[in-house]
A and B are shown apart, each in its own frame.
Chain A
Amino acid sequence: MCEYSNKLISLLDHELPAEEAVKVELHLESCNECRGQISVFAKVSREVDAYCNEAITVNARRVAPAWASSAIAAGVVTAVIVLFLAWPRARVKPSTMQLPPVATANSLGVAGSSVSGSVPSIHRNNMRHAGAVESRIVPVQNNNSSSAQRIVTYDSQEEPMIQIAIPADEIFPPGAIPEGVNFLADLTIAADGTAEGMRLRPMLAGFERRTTRP
């Protein structure tokens, strides 16, 4: 090993006294081995710097998703639910709307009988991915209405009126929401079809299979 080899990193860091630095620099002009070594040390130093810079960048990114993903999920799911409520009302035909008595007063919290008939079908179309939350909507045909209209009633008076399950993977990129986390929306629909109340809450698949009315 060259006698100047142990001074190369100090030279690189400008830590050598001026006279000694001049000596080493003169030596470098004539020593291929030392020139090769100092270029290697310079490259390693640059890579350590880049590694540290990357580490802090990644660390900063890693903190944000912990709360941001939940907030974004809540916001987007809320927006989707509002769309569910608003969209059917634009196509309501009140004269054809009927709701079975059992669904009207007791279990559903609906004061009147005017509820959009398209709501159930839209909800049913979006139930296909509801894997984590079990659907308890039982569509039935109403004898008094036309065959194209579907009225929703329920198998139990203790259960909520409508349950919508929207898997996070249908809305967000894969991995944006931690696995097993879902959001459940409890809706109360007033007689005029507007949303009287809504409660959005996160739930863990496998731990909570049923919902209770607020």
Chain B
Amino acid sequence: MSGEAANPALPFSRLLTDASEATTLYRELRKPLLRYLVCLGLSSDEAQDVVQDTFLSLHRHLTSGGSQENIRGWVYRVAHNQARNRQNRYDRHFREPMDSEINATLDEATPESAVLEKEKYQQLGKAMRLLTPPERECLLLRSAGLRYREIGEVMGIATSTVSDTVDRAVRKLAEKCNV
């Protein structure tokens, strides 16, 4: 996996002995989960709401003796479904990747690096919009540090399908961004 989020040292595989482990998971997963939801198209407030609801569900799940296997995948699946429910409830599509906001931030950098970074992110944002929703979601979950098996559980697809989808998405980005 790529990126800082892909940290295999995180103690996700250990068995959770009681509900207090949810607090540890919250500290470890909150930021990458927020990152995933925001990249998925939720606003910051919406993403915060979904994260809170997700960990409330996790607490209930653990205290009621629910399965503790692959709890990270479980958390992402619940958050993913809640994000989808919000999309359906408000009858809208997830908004586009955040080109304009990133432009605003990059203006603060030095002129040369700002221009280069802005162009790079604009190009990447456009390329990501050209991906199909499953390709984009697989890529974002991969970037969040999830294994293919976990991504498959979150999205309800086979691991082999995840592998193919990620492969296709990365190739598309490489082609569109002229890397």
Residues of A within 8 A of B (CB): 6, 9-10, 12-15, 40-49, 51-63
Contacts and interface: CB of A to CB of B under 8 A. Distances in A.
Q: Is the interface of B mostly helix, strand, loop or mixed?
A: helix
Contact of B98 (A14, A40, A43, A58): A58
A13 B142 CA distance: 9
Contacts, number: 104
Interface stretch (B10-18, B61-69, B75-83, B119-127): B119-127
Given A9-B167, A44-B177, A48-B124, A55 B2 contact: no
Contacts of A48: 2-3, 124, 128, 139, 143, 173
A75 to B, nearest CB: 23
B38 A13 contact: no
B34 A45 contact: no
Contact of A63 (B45, B102, B139, B171): B45
Interface of B: 1-5, 31, 34-36, 38-39, 43-45, 47, 97-98, 101-102, 104-105, 120-121, 124-125, 128, 139-140, 142-144, 147-148, 163, 166-167, 170-171, 173-174, 177, 179
Given A44-B174, A55-B101, A49 B5 contact: yes
B38 A59 contact: yes
B3 A49 contact: yes
Contacts of B125: 51
